[in-house]
Amino acid sequence: MIWDPYYECMDPEERTKLQVRRLRETVARLNVNVPWYRDRFAEKGIEPGDIKSLDDLRHLPFTTKDDLRETYPLGLFAVPPEECVRIHASSGTTGKPIIAGYTRDDITNVWAETIARTIACGGGTSHDVLHNAYGYGLFTGGLGLHYGGELMGCLVIPASGGNTERQLMLMEDLGSTILCCTPSYALTIADVAENIGFDLSRIKLKSGLFGAEPWSDSARESIEERLGLSAHDIYGLTEVIGPGVAGECEAKAGLHVYDDHFIPEVIDPDSGEPLPPGEKGELVLTCITKRAFPIIRFRTRDITRLDYETCACGRTQPRMERITGRTDDMLIIRGVNVFPSQIEEVLLRIEEVEPHYQLVLTREGHLDNLEVQVEVSPAMFSDEVRKLEAIEDRIRERLSSALGIRVGVKLVEPRSIERSIGKAKRVIDKREEV
């Protein structure tokens, strides 16, 4: 089923006209309501009326995570906070998160709609029981899928993450047909079922909507085979809306970008110049329908390419290839975005350690583990084990609260972490592809 054939199968030329109209309107609104954007437009000598074609998008300024940090918390909101009904957040590069705001219209007419499209792309209908194991809270996964599922008319089970045995029980007892979670958690569900002797033929999942972290074709095969479902990739990010930016249909030949709401571009990450269709580069997204927080040319740092051919499913919206990497050092650990700079910020405030550290990533089963190895200062090194353990505990606690995930901490001897001449090698990734 196609949720909204009018927009999803629109004649591309018609859609371009719609995009230009919406873009011009958004730029005009930002020019009036957001001083930060007004200044950027002025610097580039752009008036909203100058936007006459999609090509003019390239004249607009980029927005980056750093810009969001500088305007924290609500500096890029285009409406007063009292017009918002919801806040979500995601990690920034340092201590402060990125805050996204939504009006009621953003939630019901943009987000829930694009999620309903995503669910339909994944084979869902109003008859489905949607088991939502994305985390509920500031993370956009839980509530994002939730409202779209309800709009579609699914029976939504707001399971959130954790307690896998209970998730299995609920899926069996409530007859869940669609599973929503990170791909690594889907594999964990399969592992737990195997370990406790839970026969997976007792649940009748038919499809899964998996995203929030990179995954591979072999992970897809494994999930499909073990859970007996059709696995679909879904993509999104907090700064743009959350999940619901793009989703994979039954053709599984890329993710349809809902470009009547979010205009995608692929640029050369070094020069910032747009690349021709089909070339691989950094994805940049512009929101043209949101009211509260419509971001312009957001540098996602995600690497992909776009395909504008009409898909076998009939949808005309462009498809993005699965994300194949990032242009920055952001890590995704158990579905949570983590920047090495956040860790460094915490470590620098701890007197007893040196600013020399390494992040070691390993995988246990299908879950990621992060160990922070940090050099203890020479003065502390001779201290008793008990004292060193207390320092480790303190660092562990501070890191867990700053990052929102549990991490291991290991103090190592002074000067034992290799010094580099160029860029420090902070991350040792021993994980294999999911």
> Contact residues for ligand DLL (CB under 6 A)?
90, 134, 140-141, 211-214, 233-238, 242-243, 300, 302, 323, 326, 332, 337
Q: What does 7-25 look like in DSSP terms, one character per residue?
A: HHT--HHHHHHHHHHHHHH
Could you tell me if 116 and 147 are in contact, meaning their C-beta atoms sit under 8 angstroms apart?
A: no
CB of 69 to ligand DLL, least distance (A): 14
**Complex with ligand DLL: residue 20 or 333, whichever CB lies closer:** 333
Whether the Cβ atoms of residue 220 and residue 186 lie closer than 8 Å to each other: no
- Whichever of 140 and 316 has its CB closer to ligand DLL, that residue is 140
CB 89, min distance to ligand DLL, A: 9
Nearest residue to 295 (alpha-carbon basis) of 39, 101, 70: 101
Q: Which residue lies nearest ligand DLL, judged by its C-beta?
A: 211
**CA-wise closest residue to 129 among 164, 153, 147:** 153
In the bound state with ligand DLL, the residue whose beta carbon lies nearer, of 106 and 302, is: 302
Which of 124, 214 has the CB closer to ligand DLL? Answer: 214
- Closest-CA residue to 122 (of 179, 73, 64, 51): 179
Closest CB 132 distance from ligand DLL, rounded Å = 10
Question: Cα(262)–Cα(21) distance, rounded to whole angstroms?
Answer: 13
CA angle 326, 43, 270 (to 5 degrees): 25
User: 302 vs 392, which CB is nearer to ligand DLL?
Assistant: 302
Q: What is the largest CA-CA distance in the chain?
A: 72
> Counting runs of H as helices and runs of E as strands, what totals does the chain give?
13, 21
Measured between alpha carbons, how far is 371 from 348 in angstroms, rounded to an integer? 17
In the complex, what is the shortest distance from the CB of residue 399 to ligand DLL, in angstroms, rounded to a whole number?
18
Rounded to 5 degrees, what are φ and ψ at 102? -135, 135
Least Å distance between CB 242 and ligand DLL?
A: 5
Q: What is the C-alpha separation between 251 and 244, in angstroms, rounded?
A: 18
Rounded least distance, CB 296 to ligand DLL, Å: 17
Whichever of 192 and 303 has its CB closer to ligand DLL, that residue is 303
Only one residue has tokens 């899926």, namely: 171
101/236 with CB nearer ligand DLL:
236
Measured from the CB of residue 119, what is the shortest distance to ligand DLL in angstroms? 12
3-state secondary structure of 302: strand
Identify the residue whose tokens are 């994944």: 122
Between residues 304 and 392, which has the closer beta carbon with respect to ligand DLL?
304
For 406, the token pair is 């549990």
